[in-house]
Structure 1
Amino acid sequence: MKRIKFVGLVLLFITGILVMAGCNSEGSSGKSDGGSDAPSEITYATTSDAAGLSPIDTNDSVSSNVTYQVYETLFTQNPETLEPEPLLAESYETPDENTWVIKLKEGITFHDGTPFNAEAVKYTFDQMKDPDRAAPRASLLDPVESIEVKDEYTVVLKTKEPYGPMLAALSHTNAAIVSPTADKEGDINKEPVGTGPFVFEEWVEGDHITLTKNEDYWREPAEIETVTYKVVPEVSTAISMLETGEVQFIDAIPSDHLGRVESIGNVEVQKSEGTRVSYLGFNMEKEPFNELEFRKAVAYGINQEAYVSQLNGIGVHNESIIGPKVFGYNEEATSSAYEYDPEKAKQIIQENGYDGQEITLFSANRDNYMKMAEIVESQLTEIGLNVSIETMEWASFLDTARQGDYEMTFLGWANSTADGSELLYPNLHSDNIGASNYSRYSNSEFDKLVEESRTSVDQEARKEKLHEANVLAMKDAPWVVMQHGMVTLAYDKSVEGLVVDPTGMWSLYPVTRE
C-alpha cells in the first residue's frame, strides 16, 4: 500500500493558459485615465469573453482564467515542478492499483454556504461523467468506474484499470469541485459557485466579469478586493488601456504588438517557454481532408518556420505534437514530421487531382489564429489550392468546431496537466469525437497506444507508449503543428506575487498591489 500524507498549507498557484498581473493607475504617460486606482482592485483585459463559467461545461482558456479564481481542485500543480500537490485534498492512498482513497480537508464551505465534502466531490465527478451533460473534458475521468462516499470527508475512486495520470487529471481546472446546490438550483455556467479565493459578482456578457474577495475563504483571504475581467476585442485598445492604467495586465501578447508593449515605461513583460501547442487541424470526416495524400500535401506545403520567425521570439518551431515541456516528449519524434517541401506538395497535388481544390480555413477572430490563417492561406495558394478564410467570434467558433462544421481549422491546447496522455487522449482518441477531438481522428492502433500510456503506472513505460503514439499521429497528420507556445504577459510594475507556470495558468490569490 502506498500512502502519502500532506501537512500544512499548499499554495494555490497555477494549472492551463495565459498571464500575469498588473496595477498602478499610471502608465508611461504618468497620469491616470480613470481606471482602477485603488491598490485593492485589479483589472485584466481579455480580447474574448468567456464561453461559460462552469468547469464542468467549458473547456477553453478564456473561461478557465475566470473559473480558476472561483473554483478549486482536489490537487494543484506546483508552479515550478508541475508535480501535483494537495489543495482541497488532505492526503491520498492507493491500496491497490485501481483504487484511490482521497481524504479531504475539513471545514471548507462553498460560496453559497453549503459544505464542501465527499458528497460534493461525488456529485461533481458524476456530472462530469454523465453522457447527458456532455462535459467537454469528461475524458479526464473516463478511466474512473465508480465514485464512492466512504464518509463525510473521504471519497474513493475506483478505475477500470490503472490510471497513471490520475493526480494530473485531478489537478486540471475542469476537474474543479462545484457546489451541488448551486448546480441543481441555478446555472453555474452563468453564476459560478466554488470554494476559491474569489466570489462571482456579475457578468455583463460582451463587456466584463467581476469577482470579489471571498472574506470567508478557508485560508487567509486574498489581498485583492475586486477583480474585473474587461472584454476588449481590439488588442491595440487593450495595450492603450494598459499604458494609461485603465487595466493592469494583459496576456497572450500577439507578436505584432510585442515591441509596443515592451516600450511602455511602467510595464514589465515576461516570456518563457510553455506547454501550449497550436495547430492546423483537418476534419477527418470530410473529403478530401480524410485522405492522407491530401493532408501530406498540405503538411509539405506549410512552412512553420516562416510563421514562427514572425513571432518575435514568442513561439518555438517543433513539429512534434507532444512538445518539449510536456511529459512524454522525445526529440526523436521530430524526424517523423513532413518537413516543408513545396515541390513535393505540388507533385502530390498534381498526381492526386487536388489542383484548384477549394478549401476554407476556419478561424476564431483572435490575433494569433488570424495570423496563422493568413500565412497558411498564402502558402497553400502557392502550391495550387484555392483557399479562403472564414472567421467567427470565440464562443460560436468553439461550438461550430466541436460539431465538426468546418474543413480545416486552427486550434490550440494549453496542456494544463503537462502530461502527454492528457494531450493525446482528449484531442485525438476516437472516444472524444464530438467533444474535444475536433479533428475527429480515429485510429485503433493509436487509441491502443494512448490507452496503454494512461493505464500504466510505470512512468518510463508511459513515455515509450506516448512516443510511439506521437509518431503514429504525426505520420497520419490529422494535425499540422504550427508552433509550441511561449507564455507571455505584460503587467504594471506595482503588481507583486503573481506566478505563471509553463501551462500559462495564473492565480490572483497571492497577488498584491502597492
Structure 2
Amino acid sequence: MKKTIWYSIVLIAMLVLAACSGESASAPKGSNESNGGGESNETFTYASTSDAVGLSPILMNDAVSANITEHVYEQLFTRNSETQEFDPLLAESYENPDEKTWVIKLKEGIKFHDGSPFNAEAVKYTFDKLRDPATAAPRASLLEPVDTITVVDEHTVEIKTKYPYGPFLAALSHTNAAIVSPTADKKQDLMKDPVGTGPYKFVSWTPGDKVELEANEDYWDGAPALKKIAFKVVPEISTAISMLQTGEVQFIDNLPTEQVKRLESMKNINIEKKDGTSVYYLAFNHSRERNQDADFRKAVSLAVDRDAFVSKLNGLGVRSDSVIGPQVFGFDEGADKAGTAYDVEAAKALVEKNGYGDEPIKLLTANRDNFILMAEIVQAQLTEAGFKVEIESLEWATFLDTARAGEYDMTFLSWSNVTADGSELLYPNFHSDNVGSSNRSQYSNPKFDELVVQSRTTIDQDKRLQILDQANHLMIEENVVLPMYHGIVTTAMDKNYTGLEVDPTGKWSLKNVTKK
C-alpha cells in the first residue's frame, strides 16, 4: 500500500514538472515553445546545401558564407531596397567637400562583440587590411579607388580616392566591406571565430554540419527577437525541404525549380519571389588558346538554346542576353536581345569547318541543383552540335578554388551583385586587374578595361549608364560569356514566423523575424 502511494506521488510530481516545463508530445521535432512576447528561445534554423568557406568578410567571397557574416558584421552603409539609395548603417552621415573626398561621421556608442569600441580606427584598420596586397583579399577591388584613409577623430574618418568614384557608397555597402574588430583580428582567426557589431554573435562552427549564432543582447539597434539561429548544412535540397515540412528547419532560399510545385503544396510555409540582381552565365576560360578564338565562342553560343533551359526553371529565371541584368544599374533594354541567337545548324557548320569537336571540353560545375541542371542541358546541346563535353562536378568551396585557378575549359559562374551596380559587376568579374582573383574567366581586353574604368571614374550617373551600356554590348557582341539567366530571389519560411527582410540582391536578414 505504501509503495502504491509513493508511486502515485512520483507520478503526479512528474506530470507537474512536465506541465511546468512546457513540453508537449505533439510538438514538432526540433521545436521548443516560445517564451512569449514575440521572442523565442528555440533555435531558428536555415538550411543550405553547402557549408561556409569562411567567416571573415575580408577573406571570404561566396554567398553561403555571406549569409552568415551579414548577421555578425555590419557595413558603413546599406542599400535601401525600396528607394535603391544607400542609407547610413554604422555611419551616421557623410559629405563630399570635393569629388574625391568622403568625410564619414560614425554612429557613437557601438561596441564589437568582444567589447572593444567601434570607431574610426576600426574602420581604417579594416579598410587598410582589405586593400593591402599582402592580405590577398578576394574583393580588394572594392577599395581599389582609395588613395588615403585618415582618422580625423574617434568618430570621423576621411577617405580620399584617386579619382572621382561613382559607385563608392555601393562599394561600402558590400558584404566584404563590413567592419571587423581590430582587437579580435590581431589575436584570432576571424575566418573561424568572427567578431563584428551585428545583431548576432558567433557561438560555434562544426564544419560540414552547422554554424550557430546567438542574439547580441547589447545590439545598438535593439536585440533581435530570435535568440538562437543556426545555419545547417543539408547537402540534399529534397531533404532540406522535408525538414522544412516537419519543422526541423524553418527557412530555406534559392528554391530549386524542380521542387517548386512540392513547396507550393505545403500548407505550413510561405513562399516569396522577387526579381533579383544575380546573373548566371556560361564562362569561357579566356587564358586558353581555343577560347580566344571568336568563332569557337560563337559556335558554342549558337549551340546553346537558353530559352529551352529557362523554360525548365518554372518561372524562377529571367531570360536576357544582357550581362547586366534588368534589376542592376547600367541595364538598357536595347541589350536584352542583342546576343547570338540559337542556331544549331550554324553551330554544326562552324564545328565541322574548324574541327572544334576533335578535342574534348572540360565543363566545370558546382554541385548545386541549378548549376548541375545547366551543365546537363548545355552538355546535351553542345553534343548535338558536334562538340565533345565532359562534366566535372565539385563541392562548392573546391569549385570556387578550381575556377579561380583557371583549371577548366568552360564553367558556370554566378554573381549575386549585392551592390546592384553594373560597375561592381563588370570590374571584379571581367577587368584584367582581377585575373587570378575574382575574374575567374581570365578575361583581358584593353578596350573593355577602359570602358569599365570610365564607368567608375565619374559621379555623373547618366554618363555612367551610357558607358556601362557600351561595355555590356561589347561583351555581348564578342560572346565573352553567355548569360544563361538572371535570378529570381526565392525563399520559403515556416508560417509561424514573420518579418523576414529580402532584397533583390539576394541578401536577407533575420534581425526582425519574430514568432507569431
- The TM-score, its normalising length taken from structure 1, stands at 0.93
1:456 to 452, 455, 458: 458
Contact in 2 for aligned 1:36/1:245 (Cα 8 Å): no
How large is the RMSD of aligned CA atoms in angstroms? 1.3
Tell me the CA shift for residue 35 of structure 1.
4.1
Q: Give the total of aligned pairs.
A: 487
| Matches for 1:33-432 after TM superposition, within 5 Å | 33-35=29-31, 38=34, 39-40=40-41, 41-432=43-434
348-357 vs 142-151, greater mean Cα deviation: 348-357
Task: Indicate conservation of the 8 Å contact 1:70/1:199, yes or no.
Answer: yes
Partner Cα distance (2:243, 2:267) in 1? 14
Matched residue type, 2:50: S
Between 1:118-127 and 1:472-481, the stretch displaced more is 472-481
Contact 1:35 1:247 in 2 (8 A): no
Kindly report structure 1 stretches of 4+ aligned residues shifted beyond 2 Å.
33-41
What is the CA-CA distance between 1:36 and the residue it aligns to?
Answer: 5.6
Which whole-Å deviations, capped at 9, do the CAs of 1:373-420 have from their partners, x for residues lacking one?
Answer: 000000000000111100110111111111111111111100100000
- The farther-off stretch of 333-342 and 62-71 is 333-342
Task: Measure how far apart 1:216 and its partner are.
Answer: 1.2
Given residue 32 of structure 1, which amino acid in structure 2 is its aligned partner? Answer: P
What SS does the aligned partner of 2:501 have? coil
Q: After superposition, what is the alpha-carbon deviation per residue over 1:295-316, rounded to whole angstroms, capped at 9, x for unaligned?
A: 1110111011111100110001
Distance, in Å, in 1 between the alignment partners of 2:393 and 2:71 is 30
Q: Which residue of 1 aligns with 2:11?
A: none
CA–CA distance in structure 1, aligned partners of residues 388 and 261 of structure 2 = 34
Shift in Å at residue 82 of structure 1? 2.5
Q: Which amino acid aligns with 1:327?
A: F
Aligned counterpart in structure 2 of residue 433 of structure 1, from 429, 435, 444: 435
* 1:110 partner letter: F
Aligned equivalents of 2:510 and 2:103: distance in 1?
30
More relative contact order in 1 or in 2 (CA 8 Å, sep 6+)?
1
Q: Distance in 1 between matches of 2:249 and 2:32?
A: 7
Larger radius of gyration: 2
Amino acid at match of 2:186: K
SS at match of 1:155: strand
8 Å Cα contact 2:320-2:337 kept in structure 1: no
Contact 1:281 1:439 in 2 (8 A): yes
Match of 2:470 in 1: 468
Q: Give TM-score scaled by structure 2 length.
A: 0.93
Contact 1:190 1:203 (8 Å CA) reproduced: yes
**Unpaired segments ≥5 residues, structure 1:** 1-24
Q: CA deviation at 1:458?
A: 0.6
Q: C-alpha distance in 2, partners of 1:490/1:357?
A: 44
In the alignment, the residues of structure 2 paired with residue 478 and residue 190 of structure 1 have an alpha-carbon distance, to the nearest angstrom, of 37
State the one-letter code of the partner of 2:466: E
Once residues 61 and 329 of structure 1 are traced to their aligned partners in structure 2, the CA distance between those partners, rounded to angstroms, is: 23
CA distance in 2 between partners of 1:226 and 1:36 (Å): 12
CA contact (8 A) 1:453 1:462 kept: yes
Q: Which runs of 5+ in 2 are unaligned?
A: 1-22, 35-39
CA–CA distance in 2 between the matches of 1:379 and 1:126?
47
Tell me, yes or no, if the aligned pair for 2:125 and 2:182 is still in contact at 8 Å: yes
